[in-house]
Amino acid sequence: MKLTCKQLYDFMGDYLEGNLPPETMCVVKTHLERCPCCLHYLENYHEATRLGIKVCQEEEKDISANVPEELVRAILDARGKDDPKP
Amino acid sequence: MDTPRQPEPLPTRWESDTELLAALRAGDPSAYEHLVREYGGRMLLVARRFLSQEQDAQDVVQDAFLSAFKAIENFEGNSKLSTWLHRIVVNASLMKLRTQRRKPERPVDDLLPRFSVDGHRDAPEPAWAVTYDTAVQDRETRDVVRRSIAELPETYRTVLLLRDIEQLSTDETAARLDITVPAVKTRLHRARQALKTLLDPHMRQSSGSE
């Protein structure tokens, strides 16, 4: 079994997660060893995914007090109208 | 839009979620204010990822807090309050997306790689100049990553947020969005490819700015 670059791109997500059958994993690996273009694409794709996750995770750690005052007031006012025990 | 912000957090009177929860259940207004100030910023940030309009994101946060207030009696404490609130704001964001009229999106095909007729790439693919470790330390790169996620077409961004950022399973993502498992896989792959394309110009040339 041989893969074109186009076919390999379709397998990338499953390849990175180890979700391909062993034979297909092997074929992808062989292609990557011989094709720097696909190898670089896979590495960049993987890095883009990891960066997205990391940046969002870190962002959430940093933001504890960053909420517009008018939104705070709107929420608390709305609660006051809703709640029978203010 | 600039909005006034609360610069100083309230002093924390509650040492743990359990104490805060007890105060909330007793109807202590200062406990509610603390909850909103403590978690509102993070919830707004999560809502903004799903919704491109600031007002929609703020509406979702308000709806999420009001839902949480109503459900506080039933919160069993099996997870942290922050995790519970996070889940509520994600649900509220998805609900908002479902009720919005879908706007025309940028075609994702513009952000996907192209191939020649024999199945080879039509352009060279250089390795990125910026390594992962350098990128995560660099504020400008982090901003580019955030902007690039926001720039993804909504259909694809939503799947990427649920699968990669919220870490839902493929099955759960499919159920939440009422789409098939293969559709989740295809959209996730395309979303990651599109994100990579959007990051290319910065990651190929930059050497970090911090």
Q: What is the ipTM of this complex?
A: 0.88
How far apart are alpha carbons A31 and A15 in whole angstroms?
12
All residues of chain B having their beta carbon less than 8 Å from the beta carbon of residue A5 are 115, 119-121
Residue of higher predicted confidence among B162 and B205: B162
Phi and psi at residue B156, to the nearest 5°: -90, -40
pLDDT reading at A30 higher than 90: yes
Whether residue B128 and residue A85 make contact (CB cut-off 8 A), yes or no, is no
pLDDT reading at B160 higher than 70: yes
Whether residue A67 and residue B132 make contact (CB cut-off 8 A), yes or no, is no
Q: Token pair 């993804």 is at which residue?
A: B152
pLDDT value for B209: 43
All residues of chain B having their beta carbon less than 8 Å from the beta carbon of residue A57 are 165
- Extract the tokens encoding B177: 């969005």
* Chain B residue whose CA is closest to A69: B5
Cα(first)–Cα(last) distance of chain A, in Å?
Answer: 70
Contact present, A38 and A5 (Cβ < 8 Å): yes
Angle among Cα A64, A65, A70 to the nearest 5 degrees reads 135
CA distance A14 to chain B (A): 9
Closest Cα partner for A52 from B159, B136, B171, B186? B136
Which of A40, A57, A71 minimises the CB distance to B127? Answer: A40
Which of A37, A50, A71 minimises the CB distance to B132? Answer: A50
Q: Give the single-character DSSP code of A68.
A: B
Average pLDDT over residues B186-209: 88
Cα(first)–Cα(last) distance of chain B, in Å?
Answer: 28
pLDDT value for B210: 42
C-alpha Rg value of chain B to the nearest Å: 20
- 3-state secondary structure at position A65: coil
Judged on CB neighbours under 10 Å (0-12, 13-18, 19+), B207 is exposed
Per-residue pLDDT reduced to its tens digit, B36-69: 999 999 999 999 999 999 999 999 999 999 999 9
Per-residue pLDDT reduced to its tens digit, B1-23: 455 555 455 556 788 888 999 99
Whether residue B3 and residue A48 make contact (CB cut-off 8 A), yes or no, is no
The residue among B121, B159, B184 with the most chain A CBs within 10 A of its CB, best to mutate, is B121
Residue of higher predicted confidence among B40 and B104: B40
Whether residue A37 and residue B125 make contact (CB cut-off 8 A), yes or no, is yes
Whether residue B7 and residue A65 make contact (CB cut-off 8 A), yes or no, is yes
Per-residue pLDDT reduced to its tens digit, A37-86: 999 999 999 999 999 999 999 888 776 657 899 999 999 999 877 665 54
The pTM assigned to this predicted structure is: 0.89
* Chain A residue whose CA is closest to B124: A37
